[in-house]
Amino acid sequence: MVRHSSRIELSLSALKTNFKFIRSKIGAHPIISSVVKANAFGHGIDPFVPMAEDCGINHFAVASSYEAWEVIQARTRPESKVMIMGILYETDLEWVIENGVEFFVYDFRRLEQARNTARKLGKKAIIHLEVETGGNRTGLTQKELAPAVKFLINNQDELVFEGFCTHFAGIESLANQFRVQRQLKTFEMLYAKVKKLGYLPRLRHTASSAASLAFPETVMDMVRVGTSQFGLWPSPDVYNLHLMDVGKVKDAPLKRILTWKTDIMHLKDIKKDEFVGYGTSFQAPHDMRIAVIPLGYSNGYPRSLSNRGKVLIRGKKAPVIGLVNMNVFMVDVTHILDVELNDDVILIGRTKHNSITIRSFAEVTNAINNELVSRLPSAIPRKRVR
């Protein structure tokens, strides 16, 4: 088997720690739906889903029917459920209903399509009504809600009213709290209307990672957890709220599960005043030894880390020098006296005394945690480790 230029390791012990912490925040009752859209936020659906199942998770949320198919291929337990929160083409409805995949409904026409397809198959469609509460993305309006619920009542042989849900617009930021609280009140008002119609869903759910960790009033029958399960804080605000809650100035209850590694492909000695890489963005201030690293922005390593990023080699930080290219970049290893060709290079991860965090990438690139990891190419091999 030929080798890829980098590799990703996923820690099962860290994942167990994260789910234990999330459970401590939300209590014993709510279902944890593991959000694995965007290739499990770049961690890889194939390895991650069985890892989550080994942690007791049996519900997964995705953004499309294709991702639902990927989860079904990856799961090791047939009882694990899959829920589509985003795009579902009408042509995929038959496959979705046949395979018991749950899905959000945010317009009335989809209910009619689901009813007709379910009737054709002789199998029920499992529906989550998503309501518009002020995010102005997807969701049934207040005007559409009563007709939708009545349609569910009149078509119980074909449609299961599994969930009633919404999505908060930026709950991870304290600056958005006035808007989020308005959304929560709207959701409660709309649920009261559903109650009056006398037909209730099995589950109510509104909470994302940020909501689950910091805003207990949003935790209902199920939480949709993405960012935090991977050991990442949704935002500094959510982390600071946790610190206030536990009365500490520092705490690390979430453990990053991802480590990203590559190898030194070439070592080179250069003289003072020589330029490194394309253009003139880096000129050696003294005689140097540099290492060439075999990946670049096409492999998910941001170009904005040119002359700013760092990697770990033999436990020491080595700064990126020059421009990050499509397939390679260079680092200064002058201070690492025992460096050798093919040494491990840690792009994200830790050694005994040093670490390169995803947050450190975000601070330099202005990308959020999720953006960085979600862009890691699916071709990079991923494997679970203890």
Question: Rounded to whole angstroms, how far apart are CA atoms 296 and 311?
Answer: 13
Mark residue 137 as left, alpha or beta (left: phi above 0; alpha: psi -120 to 50; beta: remaining).
alpha
Query: How would you class 294 by CB atoms within 10 Å of its CB: exposed for 0-12, middle for 13-18, buried for 19 or more?
Result: middle
Let me know: does 55 contact 245? Beta carbons within 8 Å. no
Question: Rounded to whole angstroms, how far apart are CA atoms 366 and 350?
Answer: 22
Q: Strands 125-130 and 159-165: what pairing?
A: parallel
Closest to 21 measured CA to CA, from 363, 234, 253, 317:
253
Question: Rounded to whole angstroms, how far apart are CA atoms 34 and 17?
Answer: 15
- Give the three-class secondary structure for 120: helix
Side chain identity at residue 64, one-letter code: S
State in words which class domain 9-246 has.
Answer: alpha beta
Closest to 189 measured CA to CA, from 144, 244, 240, 131:
131
Q: Which residues contact 216 (CB under 8 A, 6 or more apart)?
A: 25, 26
Question: Rounded to whole angstroms, how far apart are CA atoms 144 and 107?
Answer: 8
Long-range contacts of 20-25 (CB under 8 A, 24+ apart): 21/228, 21/253, 21/254, 22/212, 22/213, 22/223, 22/225, 22/228, 22/229, 25/212, 25/213, 25/216
Let me know: does 125 contact 95? Beta carbons within 8 Å. no
Q: Which residues contact 160 (CB under 8 A, 6 or more apart)?
A: 124, 125, 126, 127
Span 202-235, pLDDT tens digits: 999 999 999 999 999 999 999 999 999 999 999 9
Spell out the alpha helix ranges (H) of 65-141: 65-74, 93-98, 108-121
According to DSSP, residue 327 is labeled S
Give the distance, in angstroms, between the CA of residue 340 and the centroid of all CA atoms in the same chain: 35
Q: Which residues contact 62 (CB under 8 A, 6 or more apart)?
A: 35, 36, 37, 68, 70, 71, 82, 83, 84, 85, 86
For 201, the token pair is 């869903």
**CATH architecture of residue range(s) 258-356:** Beta Barrel (2.40)
Let me know: does 300 contact 376? Beta carbons within 8 Å. yes
Span 86-109, pLDDT tens digits: 999 999 999 999 999 999 999 999
pLDDT of residue 135: 87
pLDDT of residue 303: 93
Q: Which residues contact 287 (CB under 8 A, 6 or more apart)?
A: 269, 270, 271, 272, 334
Q: What is the pLDDT along the chain (386 residues), one digit of tens a residue?
A: 899 999 999 999 999 999 999 999 999 999 999 999 999 999 999 999 999 999 999 999 999 999 999 999 999 999 999 999 999 999 999 999 999 999 999 999 999 999 999 999 999 999 999 999 998 889 999 999 999 999 999 999 999 999 999 999 889 989 988 999 999 999 999 999 999 999 999 999 999 999 999 999 999 999 999 999 999 999 999 999 999 999 999 999 999 999 999 999 999 999 999 999 999 999 999 999 999 999 999 999 999 999 999 999 999 999 999 999 999 999 999 999 999 999 999 999 999 889 998 877 766 666 667 888 999 999 999 999 99
For 77, the token pair is 């337990």
pLDDT of residue 369: 75
Domain 9-246 identical in fold to domain 258-356: no
Query: How would you class 241 by CB atoms within 10 Å of its CB: exposed for 0-12, middle for 13-18, buried for 19 or more?
Result: middle
CA distances from 331 to 75, 113, 347, 349 (A): 40, 56, 12, 17
Domain regions of the chain by residue span: 9-246, 258-356
Backbone angles phi, psi at 23, to 5 degrees: -60, -35
Query: How would you class 296 by CB atoms within 10 Å of its CB: exposed for 0-12, middle for 13-18, buried for 19 or more?
Result: buried
